[in-house]
Amino acid sequence: MNEETAYYEPLQQQRPLLSVKNLSVNYGAIKALKGVSLDVNSGEIVAVIGANGAGKSTLMTAIMGDIRRSGGQILLNGLPLPERSYQVVSAGVSLSPEGRKLFAPLTVYENLEMGAFPLKDKNEIREQMSHVYELFPRLEERAGQYAGTLSGGEQQMLAIGRALMAKPSVLLLDEPSLGLAPIIITEIFKELTAINKTLGMTILIVEQNANKALMLSHRAYVLQTGTIVMEGRSKDLLSNPEIEEAYLGGKKHQ
């Protein structure tokens, strides 16, 4: 993956697909995000890594319009992203939320249908559904099963599939590795690479599992208590001694 980073460099001169400028979010008196700026270019996987409470999920929910932004700007394709969740999804940004948050009493199929809520055209929905089934054949096998009865890995696949159903131009992933066994995480991240390569999907991922996130992504930002403290190409960050010390447990390869 790292060899390909070079390929994306010329794109960076273009206008970024998703651009977060000086974003601030407050929970009452607590400042969760203090002027965060980041860019995601078309076709890229960008990771935001950071510890618990750094503001990663806040960043995601703020982009999605799920919490009120107290300052800053978010642009999609140069145009301001709407502030209400349902408009954000229609505009082309969808989220696989932290902890998956599936509709447990609905079937796998119905969960995917919900993901396609902004789409009007039945054929378009069917087409998206077959893309998702192609990526995750296990979801097709379990289409009639209740989402709550799936295993953790399958639930994560469904959460990602559900977000893809909206036909987004940028896919947001909040901690896809949360609570999963290492072997399942490897499988999920392999699929993410495939989603990026074969569908050309632009991905913004926030992760506590810094090693996995940096291996997956082209570029990355380090978020610390609501501020971006470092950014760069993921392969550079992987070998950065500071990052190694703080986020990779002092060893580069696991």
State which residue, 128 or 211, has the beta carbon closest to another protein: 128
CA of residue 49 relative to chain centroid, distance:
12
Which strands form 71-76's sheet, in the order they lie side by side?
Answer: 30-40, 18-27, 71-76, 79-80
State which residue, 36 or 64, has the beta carbon closest to another protein: 64
| Distance in Å, CB of 117 to another protein, minimum | 4
State which residue, 121 or 242, has the beta carbon closest to another protein: 121
C-alpha to C-alpha distance for 60 and 48, rounded to whole angstroms: 10
Interacting residues with another protein between 165 and 204 (CB under 8 A): 166
Query: Exposure string (b/e) for 27-57, b if CB count within 10 Å is 16 or more?
Result: eeeebbbbebebbbbbbbbbbbbbeeebbbb
Which of 9, 83, 101, 197 is the binder for another protein (CB under 8 A)? 101
Interacting residues with another protein between 46 and 85 (CB under 8 A): 64, 66, 84-85
State which residue, 81 or 95, has the beta carbon closest to another protein: 95
Q: What angle do CA 157, 122, 91 make, to 5 degrees?
A: 65
Interacting residues with another protein between 117 and 146 (CB under 8 A): 117-118
Which of 1, 51, 114, 199 is the binder for another protein (CB under 8 A)? 114
**Exposed, middle or buried, 3 (CB in 10 Å: 0-12/13-18/19+)?**
exposed
Count residues binding another protein (CB under 8 A): 23
113 binds another protein (CB under 8 A): yes
**Can you name the residues that pair with 18 across neighbouring β-strands?**
40, 76
161 binds another protein (CB under 8 A): no
97 binds another protein (CB under 8 A): yes
| Distance in Å, CB of 60 to another protein, minimum | 10
Q: Which stretch binds another protein (CB under 8 A): 38-46, 92-100, 130-138, 243-251?
A: 92-100
x-or-dash pattern for another protein, window 15-44, by CB under 8 A?
------------------------------
| Distance in Å, CB of 165 to another protein, minimum | 9
Instruction: Give the interface with another protein as residue ranges (CB under 8 A).
Output: 64, 66, 84-86, 89-90, 94-95, 97, 101, 103-106, 110, 113-115, 117-118, 162, 166
